[in-house]
């Protein structure tokens, strides 16, 4: 568990620093979900918003578990090295995106549009949102919205070779995205302003790039360990 803690912290930071992307991509959807709350349920708005996001985060964890099984299946084989190398390159791409130096990561989102076309019609069955279970299911469906940031984190999580660890990493990533999408009022403005500061994004991007280099298989890992 001690070895997993730095990875969990990294996943949390990935989610938090990627909050600006989440706000741009899911902010409109979050507004639509809020409008789907009937007037008589407005007093439970915070509870329903919590349920939305809980469902979304559980979807990330489920996806982490499923793809983690694939990582576990190839553990110890040449495919594991390939998967880990690809995950490292995507982490570097994610760092470049977070720092604002390259946005090619967003092209990965096209990979999930076919699946989303089948899932999106299901969301209408749970609107209007009249209960916490409906809100959670709707949030769970929302969790499958195509997102390059989520896909990159998923592949990195799968390279751990342990399905449970992969699920925990995606859970930590989801919790990291929570503040920006859930916070309201002045606190949300302060969080968003902080995350959009160039210095913060560059520092976070560099940390993710270094973590990607560390993840990349090779003799440099022993050198980095010694320093």
Q: What is the pLDDT of residue 67?
A: 93
Residue found under tokens 């620093």? 17
- Residue-range definition of the domain harbouring residue 77: 3-217
Residue 74 contacts residue 82 (beta carbons within 8 Å): no
Helix (H, G, I), strand (E, B) or coil at 103: coil
**CA 78 – CA 86 distance, rounded (Å):** 13
In a domain, 66, yes or no: yes
* The model's pTM: 0.81
Residue 95 contacts residue 114 (beta carbons within 8 Å): no
Q: What is the pLDDT of residue 4?
A: 85
In a domain, 222, yes or no: no
The rounded percent of the chain whose pLDDT value lies above 90 is: 17
Q: List, for residues 110-120, the tens digit of each pLDDT value.
A: 778 888 888 98
In a domain, 208, yes or no: yes
Mean pLDDT of the chain: 80
Residue 156 contacts residue 91 (beta carbons within 8 Å): yes
In a domain, 225, yes or no: no
Neighbours of 60 (CB within 10 A): 28
Residue found under tokens 């993710």? 208
**CA 60 – CA 58 distance, rounded (Å):** 5
**CA 134 – CA 39 distance, rounded (Å):** 16
Neighbours of 105 (CB within 10 A): 21
In a domain, 207, yes or no: yes
Q: Please tell me the total count of domains within the chain.
A: 1
Tokens of 147: 């997102």
In a domain, 223, yes or no: no
**Which parts of 124-197 fold into alpha helices (H)?**
132-142, 148-158, 163-182, 185-196
pLDDT (tens, 9 = 90+) of the chain, 227 residues, equals: 667 888 898 889 888 877 666 655 565 566 666 666 778 777 787 888 889 889 999 999 999 999 999 888 888 788 888 888 888 888 888 888 878 888 777 777 777 888 888 898 898 888 888 889 998 999 899 889 888 788 888 988 988 889 999 999 999 999 988 877 766 433 445 555 666 677 877 887 888 888 788 778 776 656 655 55
In a domain, 224, yes or no: no
Of 12, 60, 13, the C-alpha closest to 205 is 13
Q: What is the pLDDT of residue 185?
A: 34
Q: What is the pLDDT of residue 64?
A: 95
Instruction: List all residues 6 or more positions away from 10 whose beta carbon is below 8 Å from its beta carbon.
Output: 208, 211
H or E segment to which residue 21 belongs = helix 19-35
In a domain, 162, yes or no: yes
Cα distances from 169 to residues 57, 125, 166, in angstroms, run: 11, 30, 5
């Amino acid at each position: 568990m001690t070895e997993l803690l730095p990875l969990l912290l990294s996943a949390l930071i990935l989610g938090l620093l990627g909050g600006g992307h989440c706000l741009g991509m899911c902010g409109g959807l979050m507004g639509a979900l809020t409008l789907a709350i009937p007037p008589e349920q407005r007093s439970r708005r915070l509870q329903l918003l919590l349920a939305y996001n809980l469902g979304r985060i559980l979807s990330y964890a489920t996806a982490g578990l499923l793809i983690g099984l694939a990582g576990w299946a190839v553990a110890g084989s040449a495919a594991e090295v390939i998967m880990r190398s690809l995950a490292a390159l995507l982490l570097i791409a994610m760092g470049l995106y977070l720092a604002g130096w390259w946005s090619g990561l967003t092209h990965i989102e096209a990979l999930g549009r076919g699946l989303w076309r089948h899932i999106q019609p299901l969301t209408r069955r749970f609107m209007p949102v009249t209960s916490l279970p409906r809100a959670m299911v709707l949030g769970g469906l929302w969790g499958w919205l195509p997102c390059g940031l989520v896909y990159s984190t998923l592949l990195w999580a799968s390279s751990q070779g342990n399905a449970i660890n992969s699920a925990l990493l995606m859970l930590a990533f989801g919790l990291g995205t929570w503040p920006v999408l859930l916070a309201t009022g002045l606190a949300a403005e302060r969080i968003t302003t902080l995350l959009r500061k160039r210095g913060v994004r560059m520092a976070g991007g560099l940390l993710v790039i270094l973590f990607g280099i560390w993840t990349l298989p090779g003799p440099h890992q022993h050198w980095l360990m010694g320093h």
